[in-house]
Amino acid sequence: MAARAYWKGQIRLALVSIPVEIYPATKSGAAISFRQIHEPSGKPVKYEKTVPGIGAIDTDDIVKGYETSKGNYVLLDEEEIEAVKLESKRTLELVQFVDAGEIDILYYAKPYYVVPADELAEEAYIVLREALRKAKKVGLGQLSVRGQEQLVGLRPCGRGLVLEVLRYADEVNKAANYFRDVGNSKPDADLLDLAATLIDKKSGKFDASDYHNHYVDALKRVIAKKAKAKGKRVLEDVEEPAPVSRGSNVIDLMAALKASVDGKKKAPAAEEKKPPAKKAAPAKKAPARKRA
């Protein structure tokens, strides 16, 4: 396999050990990164390490510090930090199994593909995959990578297994802090039925290739044009999304939902709110031409 393995080791379930290799399941292909350039010279900008009141310093004089209070730091050297790092164990022990839908989406951080390390491991790998699928469970464990411990979940995915790095509890903000002011009243039944009809009408199978990052596509076109223009300024016209109509009452919402279900572009209520057009002044009659 051409890709470099993120982790190699074994998955342990009680007395059963399965040699596996873990590979990244995602890549940062869509993002475009920029460098800061000094325009007069065309050269990239570099940054120096400086200290207020001292100026530029040598990188050998830099240590890591943790701020305990404003302006006060506990200094740690590399040896002290290395001493705390966990030994990179080559075993992922599955210690608990939970229902697949029990883990909130907020806890999922990054997915990885898990493949059997060799043909001998394939049989036990398939047994674990099918057992998880039949039970509709996710296996939990902690993976030691580069001196740190990650909480992970293991679930079946097609013919293989996917390991998902999970966030710890203190890495997720409590939803109640953001939703406490949102009302808890039940919506109007007719509105709910219309919304459900609209959702049903637009339902389908997910295919990620149906969606594109239009900003990145436009940016790539500008870069390509400017490369051909040899540095001349190029502007790309990007179609702006239509402004969203913000109805303030139930009648507007009802009309908007009905229009959406019917496939109309604009809700009738939104059209009614337009200011009446000013009456045009009557056109002056042209003077009659004199007969010859």
For range 270-282, the mean pLDDT: 49
Reported as type and span, the H/E element at residue 259 is helix 250-262
Q: Return the pLDDT at 268.
A: 47
| pLDDT cut 90: percent of the chain above it | 27
Q: Are strands 91-93 and 7-13 parallel, antiparallel or unpaired?
A: parallel
More confident site: 190 or 279: 190
106 has pLDDT over 50: yes
For residue 41, pLDDT beyond 90: no
- Among candidates 128, 130, 134, which has minimal Cα distance to 116? 128
Q: pTM of the full predicted structure?
A: 0.65
Measured in whole angstroms, the distance separating CA 61 from the mean position of its chain's CA atoms is 38
Give residue-wise pLDDT tens across range 193-221: 888 888 888 888 888 788 777 777 888 88
CA 251 to CA 239: how far, in whole Å?
31
Can you tell me the mean pLDDT for 18-41?
Answer: 85
Query: Cβ(95)–Cβ(141) under 8 Å?
Result: yes
Q: Is the per-residue pLDDT at 282 higher than 60? A: no
Length of the chain: 292
Alpha carbon distance 157, 115 (integer Å): 11
- Look at residue 233 in the predicted model and tell me its pLDDT: 60
The whole-angstrom separation of Cα 31 and Cα 216 is 7
129 near 68, Cβ under 8 Å? no
Q: How far is CA 231 from CA 121, 226, 237, in A?
A: 56, 6, 18
Res. 144: pLDDT tops 90: no
Q: Which of 82, 62, 100 is nearest to 146 (CA)?
A: 82
Q: What is the pLDDT of residue 83?
A: 75
Q: Could you give the CA distance from residue 263 to residue 242 in angstroms, rounded to a whole number?
A: 16
Q: At what angle do helices 189-201 and 250-262 cross, to 10 degrees?
A: 30
Q: pLDDT tens digit string along 165-190?
A: 999 999 999 888 888 888 888 888 88
Which domains does the chain possess?
7-26+86-171 (2.40.290.10), 189-201+214-240+247-269 (no CATH)
What is the rounded CA–CA span in Å between residue 200 and residue 187? 18
